[in-house]
Amino acid sequence: MSKLVTIYGGSGFVGRYIARRMAAKGWRVRVAVRRPNEAMFVKPYGVVGQVEPVFCNIRDDASVQLAMQGADAVVNCVGVLNELGKNGFDAVQAEGAERIARLASENGVERMVHISAIGADAESSSAYSRTKAAGEAGVLAHMPDAVILRPSIVFGTEDQFFNRFAAMTRFGPFLPLVGAETRFQPVYVDDVAQAAEQGVLGQAASGIYELGGPEVKTFRALMQQMLEVIHRRRVILGVPFFVAKIMAGVLDILKFVSFQLFSNPILTRDQLKNLRQDNVAGDSAKGFADLGIVPTTLDAVLHEYLWKFRPSGQYDDIQNSAKNLRT
C-alpha cells in the first residue's frame, strides 16, 4: 500500500507544491486545512482518491490527531503574516507547530518536515520571528530528527510578494517601499517543495536548512527587476522608517478599534520590525547545496506569471514588436 503524508496547510502557497510532488511520487496525500471545500483544487494532483482535503484546526489536539491518523510522515506549512482573531502568532506558529510534533511523536509518525522562516530568533523584537523560533524548538523537542526549512521570501505564480507590488503599479507613477535597502534572497516555491520532498522521503539529514535563491538583492533592486518584467516605469520611493512607524501604528489602531473588521493587510508594526533586518541565508547554515538542489533564478520564472501586469497583458510583447515593423 502507498505511504501516506499529512500536509498541514497543504492548500497554501508552499503546501500545494509539496502536495503535488508527493502525489507524483506515488504517496497518498492528506491535505489538512480549515476550509476543505476551498481546497478541492488539490484533488487533480493525483489519481482519484490519492489527494484528499480534510478539515483540521491546528489549535485543537483532536483535530490535529485525526488528520494524521495512519500517516507515515507529516509536513507543517501553517503560518501567518498578520494576526487575526484566534489565529495569532503564538497560537499558530508556536503552539500549533509544537502540537503537530507532539502528536506525531505520540502516534509513531516516522518523519516530520516543518516550514519555518529565515530570521527565526527567540531574541527578536518581532513576535513573528520569536514565534517561528518557538515553533522550531517545540518541533525539535518532540521530533528531534525533524527537517526544518527556513526559506527567504518565496516567489512563484501564487506569491503575495511580486504579485502584490506589481498590482500596485497600476494605480500611479510611484511605488513606495519600506526598507528599500533591506536585502532579500528570493527562493522559488518549487525548490522549497523539493527540499520538503527530500525530508519526507528520508533523503535529507535532520536539522535546520536556510533556503535562499542564487541572488541576493535589495528590496529596491527586486522591484526594479519586477518593473522590467512588467514593462512599466515607476518612481521607487523609499519610505523612511520613522514615517513607516507612524503609518503602521495608525493602521494597527484602526484594526483594534474596528474589532478586526479592518485586518490591516498593508503594514503592521511587527512587519516593520522584520523589514529592518536582512532576509538572507547564513554563511555557515546548511542549505540547498547540502540537499543537492540548484536553486532557480528569478529571471527563469518571473515572466511566466507577471505578464498579466503588463500594460497590454499577454499582447504586450506583440505590440512592442509591431512598433519595430517598417511600414
Per residue in 15-46, pLDDT tens?
999 999 999 999 999 999 999 999 999 999 99
* Distance (Å, whole) CA 119 – CA 210: 10
Instruction: Decide if pLDDT at 188 tops 60.
Output: yes
User: Among 212-226, 250-264, 308-322, where is mean pLDDT lowest?
Assistant: 308-322
Handedness of CA 279, 281, 287, 293 (dihedral sign): positive
C-alpha 32 chain-centroid distance: 17
Question: Is 17 buried (19+), middle (13-18) or exposed (0-12) by CB count in 10 A?
Answer: buried
Domain assignment present for residue 160? The answer is no
Domain assignment present for residue 324? The answer is no
Query: What stretch of H or E contains 112?
Result: strand 111-115
Mean pLDDT of 204-211: 98
What's the pLDDT band for 74 if we cut at 50, 70, 90? Answer: very high
Q: Which DSSP string corresponds to 54-94?
A: EE--TT-HHHHHHHTTT-SEEEE----SS-BTTB-HIIIII
Instruction: Decide if pLDDT at 295 tops 70.
Output: yes
C-alpha 68 chain-centroid distance: 22
* Distance (Å, whole) CA 313 – CA 210: 35
Instruction: Decide if pLDDT at 11 tops 70.
Output: yes
Position 325 scores a pLDDT of 65
Domain assignment present for residue 191? The answer is yes
Position 316 scores a pLDDT of 76
Domain assignment present for residue 227? The answer is no
* Distance (Å, whole) CA 189 – CA 208: 18
Domain assignment present for residue 308? The answer is no
Mean pLDDT of 199-211: 98
* Distance (Å, whole) CA 279 – CA 315: 35
Domain assignment present for residue 139? The answer is yes
Position 313 scores a pLDDT of 86
Position 323 scores a pLDDT of 67
Position 23 scores a pLDDT of 98
> 10 Å Cβ neighbour count for 130?
20
Domain assignment present for residue 263? The answer is no
Range of the domain at 22: 4-155+186-214+279-295
Position 171 scores a pLDDT of 93
Instruction: Decide if pLDDT at 326 tops 60.
Output: no
Instruction: Decide if pLDDT at 312 tops 90.
Output: no
Write down the mean pLDDT value for the chain: 95
Top-confidence residue, 318 or 108: 108
Place of cell 488539490: 42
Q: Cβ contacts of residue 94 below 8 Å, gap of 6+?
A: 131, 134, 135, 138
The pTM of the full predicted model, rounded to 2 decimals, is 0.95
User: Among 106-115, 173-182, 317-326, where is mean pLDDT lowest?
Assistant: 317-326
For 244-289, how does the pLDDT look when each residue is reduced to its tens digit (9 = 90+)?
999 999 999 999 999 898 899 999 999 999 999 999 999 999 999 9
Instruction: Decide if pLDDT at 229 tops 80.
Output: yes
For the domain that residue 59 is a member of, what is the CATH number?
3.40.50.720
Instruction: Decide if pLDDT at 302 tops 70.
Output: yes
% of the chain at pLDDT higher than 70:
97
Q: For the chain, what is the domain count?
A: 1
Instruction: Decide if pLDDT at 321 tops 80.
Output: no
